[in-house]
Amino acid sequence: MLQKMTLMENKPLILITNDDGVFAKGIKELVRAVKDLGEIVVVAPDKAQSGKGHGVTLDMPLWYRPAKLDEEIRAFKCSGTPADCVKIALFKILDRKPDLILSGINHGSNSSVNILYSGTMGAAMEGALHKIPSIGFSLLNFAPDSDFTTAGEYARKITQKVLSSISEKPVCLNVNIPYDDPQNIKGIKICRQASGEWREFFDERYHPSNRRPYYWLTGNYYNFEPEATDTDEWALSNGYVSVQPVTCDCTDYSAMEALQIGIEGL
Amino acid sequence: MLQKMTLMENKPLILITNDDGVFAKGIKELVRAVKDLGEIVVVAPDKAQSGKGHGVTLDMPLWYRPAKLDEEIRAFKCSGTPADCVKIALFKILDRKPDLILSGINHGSNSSVNILYSGTMGAAMEGALHKIPSIGFSLLNFAPDSDFTTAGEYARKITQKVLSSISEKPVCLNVNIPYDDPQNIKGIKICRQASGEWREFFDERYHPSNRRPYYWLTGNYYNFEPEATDTDEWALSNGYVSVQPVTCDCTDYSAMEALQIGIEGL
C-alpha cells in the first residue's frame, strides 16, 4: 500500500483544461488519451469560453466546484476563462506545481492568427508564463460529436515526448490535428504561425421589439502567404499535424533598431 | 468648399479605442491630445473591458450606438471587447481603412506579461493583424481621475512620428508612461518585454445566502530578470517611457530546431 502511494506521488502531475467547457467531448477524449501517463487533475470552464484569448476575469469573482467527468480523476468546473482556470488551479486548487498543462482537445482549428483569439491557447500560454511545459491541442472540426480518435493518438504521443524531455527548456506548443483517418495523416511538422487575417462579415439582424440592429461576428480567413511551405496552414492543408512552438514574448526584435533611431530621440 | 472637403479627405483617418470604456478619462485625453493630427473616429466599449486580452465575442451578438464624447468627432460605443470594437469599426462602421489605430490611454500599466491580458493591446494587435499601424498607450496609474497631461504629450509625439513614417513597415507599439511630472521623465526607451509572472492570491469570500466560497483574482507581479537593462520594466522603474515593438507572430523560432529533431519523427 505504502509502495503504491509512493508510486502515485512520483507520477507527473498533469493539469488539463480547455475552452469548450468541462462537458465538451474534446476534453473527455484528451483525459482518456493521457490518463495513464500521470496523475490527472481537470480544472475547466463551466461553460463554453471560445474566443476568450488570454483574457482573465477582473470585474467578477470566480468560483469552482467539483465536476463529474471520469470517475478515476479529480475534476473541477470553474466560472472563469481558460486562463482563470489555470490560475485558480495553480494558486488555489493544486497542492504542488503541475509537471505539465494540457489544453483541449479544442473543437476547431487554432492555427495561424487564431492562436491570439484562442482560449485553448490562452490557457497553455498562461502555463508557459509560470515556466510549466504546456500544450494546446485542436482538431480541425467544430462538430460537438467529432471523432477524436486520431487526435487523441497524436495528443498522447506528443504528451509522452514532452514528459520524457521535461528537464530541458520548458516548451509551449500549439498542436493542430487534421480531421482525417490516421492512415491519411503524413506525420508531424514543426511550423511557424502563418501570417493572415480574418475578413469579417457582420451579419445584421433586428431586435424583435425595438427594431434596433445587432450583429453576429462572422468572417473568412485569408492567408497572406499561401505559397510558404513552413507554416502551420501549409502543414495542415497538406495532411500533417502542425506543431508550433509558442513564445509569450510579444517583442518584435526585428523592429527595435529602426525604432531606436526614430523614436528614442523624440 | 470642394477644396476643404478634399483637404479633409486627405487627413489621415485615426481610429481610437480603449479597454476602460468610452466614458473613461484616458480615452478623452487621448482624443484631445491627437485630434488635430487627423480625422478621428472613436469606437470603444460601452463598459470596462479590462483583462479581456485579444478576446472576441462569439457567443453573443454585438451592437453599437452613437456616443457623446467630444462634439467635434464621431464616436460610438460597442457592446463587445476592444478587439471586437476594432473589427466592427473596420468592417462595418468605417467607409475606408484607417491609417492608424490608437488604443488607450489605459488606466494602469501594460508592461511585461500584462500585454497578454490587456484589452488595450488586444485592440492594437487586432489592428496590426490587418496591417494597420497601431499603438497602445498606458499610464502607470489606475485611478479613474489620473492626470493624463504628460501621457497625452508623449502619446501625441509618438503618434506624430508614426504618422510621418507610415509608408514604412507598419508598426505595432506598446507604450507605457510613468506617472510623473514631465521634467522627471528621462526620455523614451525602445524595450523588449520583461519576462515575469503574476503570483496570484485568490481572496476567498462567502455568498451571503448559500455560504459557498467565491474568489477575487488578485496577485503580485514578479520580475524574472530585474537586473536586465533592456526591458520595459527596467525603463519604467528608471524614469523612461517604454516603447515595445510588438509582433502578432507567437512562434518561438529558437525552439524550432530542437523540436524538429525530437517531435517530427514520432
Q: Which residues of A touch B263 (CB under 8 A)?
A: 158, 161, 188, 190, 243
Quick one: pLDDT at residue A155? Answer: 98
Residue of B nearest to A156 (CA): B266
What distance in Å separates residue A72's CA from the closest CA in chain B?
25
Residue of B nearest to A79 (CA): B214
- For A202-217, the pLDDT digits (tens) are 999 999 999 999 999 9
Quick one: pLDDT at residue A165? Answer: 84
At residue B42 the predicted structure's pLDDT band, cuts being 50, 70 and 90, is very high
Quick one: pLDDT at residue A265? Answer: 85
What distance in Å separates residue A17's CA from the closest CA in chain B?
18
Taking an 8 Å cut-off on Cβ atoms, the answer to whether A217 and B263 are in contact is no
Quick one: pLDDT at residue A7? Answer: 45
Beta strands in chain A (DSSP E): 13-17, 39-45, 64-66, 74-78, 100-107, 134-139, 172-177, 187-190, 196-206, 213-223, 240-245
B234, three cell numbers: 527596467
- Alpha helix (H) ranges present in B82-148? 82-88, 114-117, 119-129
Strand pairing of A187-190 and A74-78? unpaired
The CATH number of the structural domain formed by A7-193+229-250 is 3.40.1210.10
CA dist B72 and B95 (Å) reads 19
Please, what is the Cα angle at B143 between B141 and B146, to 5 degrees? 75
Quick one: pLDDT at residue A126? Answer: 98
Number of residues assigned to chain A: 266
ipTM of this model? 0.94
At residue B1 the predicted structure's pLDDT band, cuts being 50, 70 and 90, is very low
Task: Give the relative orientation of helices A25-34 and A149-164 as an angle to the nearest 10 degrees.
Answer: 50
Quick one: pLDDT at residue A28? Answer: 97
Quick one: pLDDT at residue A70? Answer: 84
User: The domain B2-193+229-250 belongs to what CATH superfamily?
Assistant: Survival protein SurE-like phosphatase/nucleotidase (3.40.1210.10)
Which amino acid is it at B203?
A: D
- For B15-37, the pLDDT digits (tens) are 999 999 999 999 999 999 999 99
Other beta carbons less than 10 A from residue A61's beta carbon: 17
At residue A1 the predicted structure's pLDDT band, cuts being 50, 70 and 90, is very low
**Residue B26 Cα distances to B14, B106, B143, B174, B188, angstroms:** 16, 6, 10, 16, 20
pTM of this prediction?
0.95
Q: Which residues of A touch B212 (CB under 8 A)?
A: 63
Taking an 8 Å cut-off on Cβ atoms, the answer to whether A250 and B212 are in contact is no
Residue of B nearest to A213 (CA): B63
What distance in Å separates residue A63's CA from the closest CA in chain B?
5
Which of helix, strand or coil describes residue B97? coil
**A8 pLDDT higher than 60:** no
Q: Which residues of A touch B255 (CB under 8 A)?
A: 169, 171, 245, 247
3-state secondary structure string across B135-200? EEEEECCCCCCCCCHHHHHHHHHHHHHHHHCCCCCCCEEEEEECCCCHHHCCEEEECECCCEEEEE
Taking an 8 Å cut-off on Cβ atoms, the answer to whether B116 and A129 are in contact is yes
Q: Are A49 and A83 in contact (CB under 8 A)?
A: no
Q: Which residues of B touch A48 (CB under 8 A)?
A: 59
Residue of A nearest to B216 (CA): A61
Taking an 8 Å cut-off on Cβ atoms, the answer to whether B216 and A62 are in contact is yes
Q: Which residues of A touch B45 (CB under 8 A)?
A: none
Q: What does the DSSP 8-state code read for residue A12?
A: P
Quick one: pLDDT at residue B123? Answer: 98
**Percentage of residues in chain B with pLDDT exceeding 90?**
89
Closest Cβ opposite residue A63 in set B192, B212, B251: B212
* Residue A67 phi, psi (nearest 5): -125, 150
Taking an 8 Å cut-off on Cβ atoms, the answer to whether B251 and A247 are in contact is yes
Q: Which residues of B touch A51 (CB under 8 A)?
A: 55-59
Lowest-pLDDT range of A99-103, A113-117, B7-11, B13-17: B7-11
Quick one: pLDDT at residue B8? Answer: 53
Taking an 8 Å cut-off on Cβ atoms, the answer to whether A51 and B58 are in contact is yes
